[in-house]
Structure 1
Amino acid sequence: MRRRVQNRLYRLYRFGSKASFELGQRITPFGWMVIIGCPFIGFVTAMYPRDTLFRLLAIYFAVIGVALIGAWLRRAKIRVRRYLPRYATVGERLEYTVRYENLTRFVLRNFYLNELAPDPIPSRELFLHSTEPGEELRNTFDQTFVAYRWMWMIRRRLLLKSEAVLAEPVGGKMSGTVRVSFLPIRRGVIQLERMRVVLPDPLGCFQRSWRVEQEKDTVIVLPKRYRFAGFQIDGESRSQLGGDSSSSVAGQSGEFVSLREYRPGDPPKHIHWPSWGKTGKPIIKEYEDVFFPRYGLVLDTVVKAEMERVFEEAISIAATFASSVDTEQSLLDLMFVQQGAQVHTVGKNVERVDKMLEVLAGLDMETSPEWDELVKMVLKHAEAMTTCIVVLCSLDEERVEFLERLAASGVSLSVLLVVDEGAEGHGGESAGSVRVTRVSVHQVEAGLEQLSGARSS
C-alpha cells in the first residue's frame, strides 16, 4: 500500500519540481512581487473603493500585460561553444570562456547566458528504492509521503550552482565571447548540455528561456583539498636495496656514475661510442641503481549511508595527502574498496597525481562489507611500503585488528579517524598499540595542522 502511494507521489513531486524550475526560469523576483501584489491590491480595492486604488490596480494589470507581451515577442537562436578546463574543484568557482553565435539576421540585445546544472530529478526506481539517512526515525506521515526523501535526493544530486551572465549585443550572423562561471558543489563528472539564453522583457517582470545549440562538454570536479603544511614522511630516495625502483627503460637504469671497460654480459645499449672511438676498445657507461620509496594511502569506503558527510571529508583528506606527497621522487598507492579491493599507483614514470584525484572524484560509499579483501591487499603491499597513511570513517574491532597487523609488518603508520563532532572532537587516541588522530568534519584544517605538528616533532 505504501509503495503504491509513493509511486503516485513520485509523479506528483516530479511534476512539481519541473513546474517550479520552469516558473523560476520565466518569472523574475520583481515579477513575483508584481504578481503577488496584484490580488492584494484587488482585495483592498474591493474593501475600500477609491479612485487611487483603482488606478493603482489598473497600473498593475497594465504592467503585467505589457511585460507578458514583451517577453512573448522576444526570440533568439544561438549556437555556443565552451572553452573549458579539464578539472574543477569542489567549492572553487570555475570560470571559462563561451563563444556564442547569433544564427538569425537580427541584432540581439539585452540577453543572458545561463549554464544550468544537470537535471537533479532522480529516476522512479532510484527514488522508490533509496532511503534518506534517518528516515526510520520520522513519523508515519513523513515515512509514507517521503517529502523529505525527495528534497534530500534533489539536494544530493545537484552538482553546481550558477547565475545568468549578461552578454554583449551581437549582430545578425555575428559572434561574441563572454566569461561564464559556476560553483561546483559536489565532486564527480559533470555533463554540461543545458545552457540557455535568457531574454527578459523590457520591464523586467518576465523572461523567455530558450535552449541554445551546443555540444555536450565534460568537467571532472576534483575533491576539495585543504591547506596542509605537510610532514616529514619516512623514506627518502636512496641508492641501496630495500626500495622499489620504477623506470620506463627496460633493464638497468639510474644515475650515471662513471665509464669502465666492457665486460662480457654488459648490455650493448650502455656502450659509450665516443670513448670506444678514442680508445679503440669498447667502453661501458656505468650506472648506480636508484630506488624510490613507496607510500600507501588507505581510504575507508565501507561507510553507512547516514555518514555521507564524514565520507566526503575523508575523500577530501585523502586528496589533500595525495597532492602533498612528492610523487616525482616516490610512488604512492591508493587502496580502497569499490566493488572489490582496488589499488591505484601514481609516481615517477607511472601516472600523474591528477589520475589519483580523478579516481577519488568518482568514488562512492560501499555499503556491502568487503573489508577483508582490503586488508589482504594492503598487507600484501606492506613489504614494499615505507609509510602508510590510513584514513578511517569509523573505528571498530575489525579496523583496530587491521591497524595492529599493519603496524606489526614494520610500516610507519599515520592514522586519521574522521568524526562528525565539534572542534572538541580533535585529539589523539589509541587503537590497540596504534596512535589514531581524530579529525572533526567541522575543523578539518585544524586537525591536519595537529597531525603536521605531531609528525614534525
Structure 2
Amino acid sequence: MASGAQPRIRVLKWFRTLYMDRLTGSGRALFWVTVLMGTAASTSYMVKMYLLHCILVAFFAVSVALARLWRVPLIIRAHLPERSTCGARLAVAVTIRNRSRRDSVDTVIRPFGLPRHIRLSAELSLPHIPAGEEQSHLMELEFLQRGHFEFPGMSQETLFPWGLWRDVCFHKDPRAILVYPRFHPLRSLDVPVGKRYQPGGIALSSNLGDSAEFISTREFRQGDSLRAIHWRSWARVGTPIVKEFQEEYFCRIALLLDTFIPERLSERYAPAFEAAISIAAAVADCLSREEYVIDLFAAGPEVYYFQAGRSLAHLENVLDILACLGQCHEPPFEKITPLLLDHLERVTTTIVLLLDWDERREGLIRMIRECGCAVKVILVRDSPPTMDSASAEDLTGRIARISTQDVEGGCEEL
C-alpha cells in the first residue's frame, strides 16, 4: 500500500469512529440535517439557511463541551468468571461507585472492545448516580464460540445534556476468560475396558507420593526398607514389624482427538471439528464420573498430552485444553505417534475421535491395536469418508458414526 494512502485511511477511520461510536442515534440524525442545511445554504445563498446551519453547528459544539465538563469520575468493575460455556448467557455483576461530590446523570455503562464472539444483550443506562453512592447492576453476555478471549474493560459514556454526543471514558481492566465447548452429558458410554498393572501405582501417575494400597503387616525380613516399619506394632509385640503394600491395578483410558483438516477444506469441515470437540468434552465428562485415569492426546497446532482422573487433575483442566484447541492443517500423525507409543503400554483402552477415515488414520488405529489396547472409534462426519471404514471393523470393532446434527440435537449414548 502506498505511504500516501495511509494518512487518508487513518482520517477515514477517525471520522467513522466519531460517527458510529460518539454520535448517538439522535446525534446522527441531527448531523445529516446540519449537512443538508449547509449544502442548501451554499447553493441558495439564503442568509436564513446560513444562520440555521450555524445554530446547529453551535448546538453540537455546546453538547460536546458540556458532556466533557459534566462527566463524573466513576469506579467501575465487572465481576467476570474465569470460565464459561459456549452458548451460555451469563449475568455479570457490575459495581459502579461515584467517588466525586457531584451526581452523575445520563450515564451509559458497557464493555468496550468485546471480541466478536461475545455478544452484549443490552447496555446499562443509568439516569442518576448520587454522589458517594455505590450501585450494583447485572449485564448479560452471550458466548457464541469456544476459545480464549480477552475482556479489555468497561466504558463510561456521558450523554448529558441533550443525548446527542457520547463523552467516553475507558476503565481498562483486562482479564481473560475461557469459553468451554458446549456439550450434552452422556447417559452411557460403551467402552471395552479392563485393567492393567501400573508400575508404581497411582503414585507414579499423580506424583503425589507413595499411595500403594496398605493391605497388612508382617515380620521384618532382610532387605526390607526401614521406611516400611510399623512402629506401633513393633512396640506392641516387641519385634520389628513392617507394613505390606500391594501395587494398584486400575483402568487407564486414552482419549485421542483427530484435528487434521486440510487448509482448503477448513471452513467446510469446521462444524464437524467443533462437533468432535463437543463429543470429546462429553466423553471426558462421562469418564471423570468413574474411577478412570484419562490420558488426553491431541495435536493442533501443538501436540497436547494431559492426564486427569482420580487424584490427578480435574475435568475443568481437560476442558481448558479443549477450549483452545485449533485445527491442524498439516498431518500430525508423525508428531503424535512417538508420544502415544511412550504411554500405550500402560493404557487399557483408547477412544479415538476421527474426522475422516483414510490410510493414515487406519495405520494409526492398527498401531494402537498392536500395542495391546482395546479401541473404540467414533467418526464425526456429515459426508462419506475418504475410504470405506466398514472393511476395517474387524480391526476396530463397530465404528460409531455421528453427524453434526446428532451432536447439536444432544447425543446421549455412544
In the alignment, the residues of structure 2 paired with residue 362 and residue 285 of structure 1 have an alpha-carbon distance, to the nearest angstrom, of 46
Match of 2:404, as an amino acid? V
Query: Is the Cα contact below 8 Å between 1:84 and 1:96 reproduced in 2?
Result: yes
1:392 and 1:188 map into 2 onto residues whose CA distance is 21
Change in CA separation of 1:249 and 1:440 when aligned onto 2, cut-off 3 Å: closer
Give the match's secondary structure for 1:369: coil
Partner of 1:126: none
Q: Which residue identity is paired with 1:218?
A: A
Tell me, yes or no, if the aligned pair for 2:333 and 2:364 is still in contact at 8 Å.
no
TM alignment of 1:234-273, pairs within 5 A = 234-235=192-193, 241=197, 245-247=201-203, 248-251=207-210, 253-273=211-231
CA distance in 2, matches of 1:429, 1:17: 54
Partner of 1:107: 103
Going from structure 1 to structure 2, the CA distance change for 1:191 and 1:445 (only over 3 Å counts) comes to: closer
Instruction: Name the TM-score, length of structure 2 as normaliser.
Output: 0.76
1:152-177 CA-to-partner distances (Å, cap 9, x unmatched) read: xxxxxx23111312458433354333
Secondary structure of residue in 2 paired with 1:325: helix
Distance (Å, rounded) in 2 between the aligned partners of 1:396 and 1:40: 65
Is structure 2 residue 210 aligned with structure 1 residue 217? no
State the partner residue of 2:362: 400
CA distance in 2, matches of 1:10, 1:430: 58
Encode CA deviations 1:213-246: one digit per residue, 9 max, x unaligned. x33222222222223223143336x6x7368832
Return closer, same or farther for 1:361/1:12 CA change in 2, 3 Å cut-off. Answer: farther
Tell me which residue corresponds to 1:146. none
Between Structure 1 and Structure 2, how many residues are aligned? 387
**Whole-angstrom distance in 1 between the partners of 2:55 and 2:138:** 36
Partner of 2:47: none
Q: C-alpha distance in 2, partners of 1:30/1:91?
A: 33
Letter in 1 for 2:311: N
Q: Aligned in 2, Cα 1:271/1:328: closer, same or farther, shift over 3 Å?
A: farther
Give yes or no for the alignment of 1:448 onto 2:404.
no
- State the 1:32 CA deviation: 5.7
Q: Cα offset for 1:403?
A: 2.3
Q: Is the 8 A contact 2:357 2:389 kept in 1?
A: no
* Residue in structure 2 matched with residue 89 of structure 1 by the alignment: 85
Q: Which residue of 2 aligns with 1:78?
A: 74
C-alpha displacement at 1:385, in angstroms?
A: 1.7
2:243 is aligned with 1:285: yes
> 1:92: how far off?
1.0
TM-score by length of 1: 0.70
Aligned partners of 2:106 and 2:160 also within 8 Å: no
Q: Return closer, same or farther for 1:370/1:315 CA change in 2, 3 Å cut-off.
A: same
Shift in Å, 1:83 = 2.9
Quickly say closer, same or farther: Cα 1:193–1:228, change in 2 above 3 A: same
CA contact (8 A) 2:200 2:212 kept: no
Please, which moves more after superposition, 25-34 or 339-348?
A: 25-34
Aligned counterparts of 1:292 and 1:72: Cα–Cα separation in 2: 72
CA–CA separation in structure 2 for the residues paired with 1:284 and 1:244? 19
Deviations 1:381-425 (A, max 9, x none): 33222221212223322212322333344322222222246xx99
The answer to whether structure 1 residue 193 and structure 2 residue 152 are counterparts is yes
**Cα distance in 1 for residues equivalent to 2:84 and 2:391:** 37
2:309 counterpart (344, 347, 369): 347
Aligned to 1:382: 344
Q: Aligned residue for 2:21?
A: 25
Pair 19,343 (structure 1): closer, same or farther in 2 beyond 3 Å: farther
The match for 2:285 is 323
Q: Distance in 2 between matches of 1:393 and 1:19?
A: 47
Paired position in structure 2 for 1:165:
124
Residue 351 of structure 1 and its aligned partner are, at CA, apart by 2.2
Equivalent AA in structure 2 for residue 245 of structure 1? G
Please say if residues 77 and 154 of structure 2, whose CA atoms lie closer than 8 Å, have aligned partners that are also in contact.
Answer: no
Q: Structure 2 unaligned segments of length 5 or more: list them.
A: 38-51
Is the 1:310–1:441 contact (alpha carbons within 8 Å) kept by the matching residues of 2?
A: yes
Relative to 1, partners in 2 of residues 1:184 and 1:279: Cα closer, same or farther, differing over 3 Å?
same
How far residue 295 of structure 1 moved from its aligned partner, in angstroms, is 0.8
Task: Assess, with a 3 A threshold, how the Cα gap between structure 1 residues 285 and 398 changes in structure 2: closer, same or farther.
Answer: same
1:337 to 2:296 alignment? no
Q: 1:186 to 1:21 in 2, by over 3 A?
A: farther
- Secondary structure at the residue paired with 1:216? strand
Gap change, CA 1:69 and 1:374, over 3 Å in 2: same
Q: Provide the identity percentage.
A: 24
State how far apart, in whole Å, the 1-side matches of 2:316 and 2:197 are: 30
- In the alignment, the residues of structure 2 paired with residue 21 and residue 227 of structure 1 have an alpha-carbon distance, to the nearest angstrom, of 45
- Contact (CA 8 Å) 1:192, 1:217: kept in 2 or not? yes
Q: Matched residues in 2 for 1:89 and 1:29: separation? A: 34
Cα separation, 2, equivalents of 1:168 and 1:282: 81
3-state SS of 2:173 partner: coil
Tell me the distance in 2 between the aligned counterparts of 1:14 and 1:184.
31
> Contact 1:115–1:182 at 8 Å: present in 2 too?
no
Letter of the aligned partner of 1:172 in structure 2? A
The equivalent of 2:43 in structure 1 is none
Shift of 1:370: 3.0
The structural deviation recorded for 1:65 is 8.5
Q: Within 2, Cα distance between the matches of 1:15 and 1:300?
A: 47
SS of equivalent residue, structure 1 residue 314: helix
Q: Which amino acid aligns with 1:395?
A: W
RMSD: 4.0
Structure 2 counterpart of 1:179: 138
